[in-house]
Amino acid sequence: MKVKQISVFMENQVGRLAEMTGSLGQAGINIMALTVAESTDFGVVRMIVNDFEKARKILKEKNFTVRETEVLAIEIADQPGSLASVLKTFSENKLNVEYMYAFVGRREGAIMVFRFDDPDQALKALKGTKVKVLSNEEVLALTK
Amino acid sequence: MKDSGHIEHRIWNPRYEQISSDELAQLQLERLQATLQRVYRNVSFYKKKFNETGFEPSDLKSLDQLSRLPFTGKDVLRDNYPYGFFAVPLREVVRIHSSSGTTGKPTVVGYTKNDLETWSEVVARMMTAAGVTADDVVQIAFNYGLFTGGFGLHYGAEKIGASVIPSSAGNTKKQVMIMQDFKTTTLVCTPSYALYLAETIVEMGIDPKKLSLKWGLFGAEPWSESMRQEIESRLFIIATDNYGLSEVMGPGVSGECLMKNGQHVAEDVFLVEILDPDTLKPVPDGEWGEVVITTIHKEAFPVIRYRTGDISRIITGRCDCGRTTRRLARIRGRTDDMLIIRGVNLFPSQIEDLLMKIEGVEPHYQLIVDRVNNMDTLELLVECNESVMTDMVSELERLQKRIEKEIRELYNINAKVRLVEPRSIQRSEGKARRVIDKRNIYGSN
């Protein structure tokens, strides 16, 4: 039920993001979700891709520093108030969200990535709630 | 600059500053012999070194035999921290200073009462050569503390009979206020601080021409001829260079006279050799080499052939000021990779040591030194590797802050740390370039 996110360290330089995503594109890797967190000097690009291992290999060959992080992909109904209600469930279960971002593709509802302190604990806590956590297969199915 | 035309050269101590070469050679020999006896008896390092080579202090019959004596390096001084090189018991030591060290441990130096007298004497000569008299008001904007700059200049100026303002370093606006209200005629500080003061004076809406400044005595960091011209034209003063290092005494080893063409060495106190740093053989007068100094008139902390790491040369010929002492050219560089940042010595290896101690950090780094608004800046680039990498920007920023804090605490330098991509630090022949110094401080001589 957990999804592997790949994080890439990147200096704030013109063209660097294009270079990185370009090398993934050439290798036929599809970026399904992406967000950039930046400081004044550098950024961390976080992505969900359709082939984690291959992406990691290519980026390392290109001398990028990468890191694997486990995140949860959660489906959120496309209607007013549904994100708030998911977040309310989190807080009721004392789950702290480090950050979140959205997938490009979607099912019936929108798919969002959530990074928790402890993804296993989050999974356990969300079991039995109405929050729909996607499996790896369900996530990969979003790509086509 | 108060009018040019005729420059009056005053000499503090003609007995030593206009000594004939024969008399000087005899005096140097006697003092060197006495120094060798002293270190042989009291400093175990030298005793051991002399014994190893079968040399006895009484063997020295002429100054030409100086080359038989062992060298003293900064590393040996550090290994004997804190008092291993003192040649007198501590009860005879009346002052202790220290210089920044290479591993966090400083080099500790001591002075007897006589040493302080010698020190203020050589500084008085140097300051007189630079124009200072009993009528001057001397503002000393060097840090007063373990650093030898503040106290060294202070006692020399008092000896001359000048009015001394120990304003110490920092608080620039207050310095300017003092300069204006106390009618300072002589400014003593680092050359970069002099330029910073010049800027502040203008910013505060003060016309530098209306100040009482006449003389500027600058040292403790390398500077260039073009920097002198800038300081002189912005502060309307005559600026002179002086040289010294705490390991041999502090300021006062040498200083320029008003001819501004080389620094007269206090040769009755310091034996200066210029050696090829590779062969360690003397180079002919006029050629560049490493400055090696033997103190011949010190009690508490004599050093034999101390390798300063500074590069200079002897300026040949007589000086028109009337002094007969030899002159040392403006320091042109270093034989090692030591950096001087705002007067603090720093070796790249110190940064390496510090990085190695932080878990996960690899010593792939580069130091970028620059001078912005006349103040030295230090930027440290560290490559972000997988063991420190996280998906959280805040954690990476925390790592940057932590390294900055450790540099500040250990080496007293404010650095800006920036994480960079792996293999982004420029490498030549596979070896990373550790230092990029953009200051061009040595300029052209």
- Residue A114, pLDDT above cutoff 60: yes
Does A51 share its domain with A74?
A: no
Phi and psi (nearest 5°) for B50? -65, -45
Does A55 share its domain with A75?
A: no
Tally of domains in chain A = 2
Cβ distance of A69 and B391 shorter than 8 Å: yes
Task: Please give the pLDDT value at position B445.
Answer: 37
List chain A residues with CB under 8 Å of B418. 41-42
List chain A residues with CB under 8 Å of B390. 7, 44, 67
| Torsion angle (degrees, nearest 10) of CA B183, B185, B186, B192 | 70
Measured over all CA atoms, what is the biggest interatomic distance in chain A, rounded to whole angstroms? 46
Cβ distance of A39 and B390 shorter than 8 Å: no
Tell me if chain B has a CB within 8 Å of the CB of A5. Answer: yes
Q: What is the 3-state secondary structure (H, E, C) of B4-29?
A: CCCCCCCCCCHHHHCCCHHHHHHHHH
Length of chain B: 445
Task: Please give the pLDDT value at position B431.
Answer: 58
Does A31 share its domain with A74?
A: no
Q: Has residue B6 been placed in a domain? A: no
ipTM here: 0.90
Q: B interface toward A at CB cutoff 8 Å?
A: 384-386, 389-393, 396-397, 418-424
- CB hemisphere CA count around B24 (13 angstroms): 19
- CB hemisphere CA count around A104 (13 angstroms): 14
Does B310 share its domain with B353?
A: no
Does A89 share its domain with A110?
A: yes
Does A87 share its domain with A136?
A: yes
Task: Please give the pLDDT value at position B440.
Answer: 72
- Residue A9, pLDDT above cutoff 50: yes
CATH code for the domain of B389: 3.30.300.30
Tell me if chain B has a CB within 8 Å of the CB of A42. Answer: yes
Does A9 share its domain with A64?
A: yes
Does B297 share its domain with B323?
A: yes
Does B106 share its domain with B223?
A: yes
Task: Please give the pLDDT value at position B2.
Answer: 45
Closest partner residue to B391 among A5, A38, A42, by Cβ? A5
Tell me if chain B has a CB within 8 Å of the CB of A10. Answer: yes
Does A40 share its domain with A62?
A: yes
Does B407 share its domain with B301?
A: no
Shortest distance between the Cα of B161 and any Cα of chain A, in A, equals: 54
Task: Please give the pLDDT value at position B323.
Answer: 97
Shortest distance between the Cα of B285 and any Cα of chain A, in A, equals: 50
Q: Look at the block and give the residue holding tokens 């996960």.
A: B360
Closest partner residue to B386 among A11, A42, A67, by Cβ? A67
Nearest Cα neighbor of A131 from B111, A97, A98 is: A97
Closest partner residue to B393 among A39, A63, A115, by Cβ? A39
Nearest Cα neighbor of B58 from B72, B77, B38 is: B38
Q: How far, in Å, are B175, B214, B220, B233, B265 from residue B166 at the CA level?
A: 10, 18, 17, 25, 26
Cβ distance of A66 and B386 shorter than 8 Å: yes
**The two structure tokens encoding residue B281:** 């053989």
CATH code for the domain of A86: 3.30.70.260
Closest partner residue to B393 among A44, A63, A69, by Cβ? A44
Shortest distance between the Cα of B372 and any Cα of chain A, in A, equals: 19
List chain B residues with CB under 8 Å of A9. 384, 389, 396, 419, 421
Cβ distance of B391 and A44 shorter than 8 Å: yes
Task: Please give the pLDDT value at position B105.
Answer: 75
- How many angstroms separate the CA atoms of B209 and B169, rounded? 23
Q: Has residue B1 been placed in a domain? A: no
What string of pLDDT tens digits covers the 445 residues of chain B?
Answer: 444 457 889 999 999 999 999 999 999 999 999 999 999 999 999 999 999 999 999 999 999 999 999 999 998 998 999 999 999 999 999 999 998 655 557 899 999 999 999 999 999 999 999 999 999 999 999 989 999 999 999 999 999 999 999 999 889 999 999 999 999 999 999 988 898 899 899 999 999 999 999 999 999 888 888 889 999 999 999 999 999 999 999 999 999 999 999 999 999 999 999 999 999 999 999 999 999 999 999 999 999 999 999 999 999 999 999 999 999 999 988 888 888 888 788 888 888 888 888 888 877 889 999 988 888 899 999 999 988 999 999 999 999 999 999 999 888 889 999 999 988 887 655 556 788 889 877 654 3
Q: Has residue B59 been placed in a domain? A: yes
Selected residues 98-137 of chain A with any CB under 8 Å from a CB in chain B: 98, 115
pLDDT for B377-388, tens place per residue? Answer: 999 999 999 889
Residue B414, domain extent = 340-437
- Interface with B, mutate which of A9, A40, A99 (most B CBs under 10 A): A9
Shortest distance between the Cα of A36 and any Cα of chain B, in A, equals: 10
Residue A26, domain extent = 2-69
Cβ distance of B389 and A66 shorter than 8 Å: yes
pTM summary value: 0.76
Does B296 share its domain with B389?
A: no
Q: Which of A69, A89, A107 is the last residue of a domain?
A: A69
Does A76 share its domain with A51?
A: no
Does B108 share its domain with B137?
A: yes
Sheet holding B270-275, edge to edge: B270-275, B289-295, B306-312, B333-334
Q: Which of B282, B312, B336 is the last residue of a domain?
A: B336
Closest partner residue to A11 among B385, B391, B420, by Cβ? B420
Does A82 share its domain with A53?
A: no
Does B216 share its domain with B239?
A: yes
**The two structure tokens encoding residue B169:** 């370093």
Q: Has residue B158 been placed in a domain? A: yes
Does B93 share its domain with B209?
A: yes
Does B265 share its domain with B178?
A: yes
Q: How many CB pairs under 8 A join A and B?
A: 54
Length of chain A: 144
Task: Please give the pLDDT value at position B423.
Answer: 80
- Interface with B, mutate which of A41, A56, A68 (most B CBs under 10 A): A41
**B297-328 as b/e, with b when 16 or more CB fall inside 10 Å?**
bbbbbbbbbbbbbbbbbbbeeebebebbbbbb
| Torsion angle (degrees, nearest 10) of CA A55, A60, A63, A69 | 80
DSSP B136: -
- How many angstroms separate the CA atoms of B3 and B10, rounded? 17
Tell me if chain B has a CB within 8 Å of the CB of A15. Answer: no
Does A65 share its domain with A93?
A: no
Does A82 share its domain with A139?
A: yes
CATH code for the domain of B86: 3.40.50.12780
Shortest distance between the Cα of A46 and any Cα of chain B, in A, equals: 7
Mind giving me the DSSP string for B60-82? Answer: --SGGGGGGSPPB-HHHHHHTTT
CATH code for the domain of A16: 3.30.2130.10
Q: Which of B278, B303, B336 is the last residue of a domain?
A: B336
Q: Has residue B443 been placed in a domain? A: no
- Residue A39, pLDDT above cutoff 80: yes
Does B196 share its domain with B269?
A: yes
Q: Which of A52, A69, A86 is the last residue of a domain?
A: A69
Cβ distance of B393 and A115 shorter than 8 Å: no
Does B34 share its domain with B108?
A: yes
Does A86 share its domain with A46?
A: no
Q: Which of B310, B336, B362 is the last residue of a domain?
A: B336
Q: Has residue B4 been placed in a domain? A: no
Task: Please give the pLDDT value at position B62.
Answer: 95
| Torsion angle (degrees, nearest 10) of CA A71, A76, A78, A79 | -130
Tally of domains in chain B = 2
Q: Which helix (H) or strand (E) holds B151?
A: helix B148-160
Tell me which chain B residue has its CA closest to the CA of residue A69.
Answer: B391
Tell me if chain B has a CB within 8 Å of the CB of A35. Answer: no
Does B381 share its domain with B310?
A: no
Q: Which of A69, A95, A118 is the last residue of a domain?
A: A69
Closest partner residue to B391 among A10, A39, A67, by Cβ? A67
